[in-house]
Structure 1
Amino acid sequence: MNPTIIDDVDFRILQQLINDSTLSHKEIGQQVHMTGQAVGARIRRMRDSGIIEGYTVRWNPDKIGHAVQAFITVFLSSNIAHPAFQEFAKSNSSVVETYRVSGEGCYWMRVHTVNQQDLNAFLDQLLEFGNYRVNLAMGQIK
Structure 2
Amino acid sequence: MLDQTDRRILEELAQNSRITMKELGERVHLTGQAAAARVAKLEDNGVIEGYTIKVNQAKIGCLMHAFITIFTKTVQHEPFLSFIKTQEGHVLRNYKISGDGCYLLECRFPSNEVLDDFLVQLNEHANYKISMVIKKQ
TM range (shorter): over 0.9
Deviations 1:6-58 (A, max 9, x none): 11111111111112112111110011111112111111111111111111212
Deviation at 1:130, TM superposition (A): 1.4
Is 2:124 the partner of 1:128? yes
Structure 2: distance between partners of 1:79 and 1:130: 11
Deviation at 1:123, TM superposition (A): 0.5
Is 2:19 the partner of 1:23? yes
Q: Counterparts in 2 of 1:75-114, with a 5 A limit? A: 75-80=71-76, 82-92=77-87, 93-114=89-110
% identical aligned pairs: 39
Gaps spanning 5+ residues in structure 2: where?
none
Query: Which runs of structure 1 show a deviation greater than 4 angstroms over 4 or more consecutive aligned residues?
Result: none
Is the contact between residue 80 and residue 126 of structure 2 (CA under 8 Å) also seen in structure 1?
Answer: no
Structure 1: distance between partners of 2:79 and 2:47: 30
| Match 1:57 to one of 48, 53, 60 | 53
Give the paired residue count.
136
Match of 1:120, as an amino acid? D
Deviation at 1:90, TM superposition (A): 2.8
Is the contact between residue 63 and residue 110 of structure 2 (CA under 8 Å) also seen in structure 1?
Answer: yes
Tell me which residue corresponds to 2:69: 73
Is 2:22 the partner of 1:44? no
Structure 2: distance between partners of 1:99 and 1:87: 14
Match of 1:54, as an amino acid? G
| Distance change >3 Å, CA 60–CA 7, structure 1 → 2 | same
Structure 2: distance between partners of 1:108 and 1:124: 17
SS at match of 1:6: coil
Match of 1:115, as an amino acid? S
CA RMSD of aligned residues (A): 1.1
Structure 2: distance between partners of 1:133 and 1:97: 16
Gaps spanning 5+ residues in structure 1: where?
none
Structure 2: distance between partners of 1:96 and 1:44: 28
Deviation at 1:88, TM superposition (A): 2.3
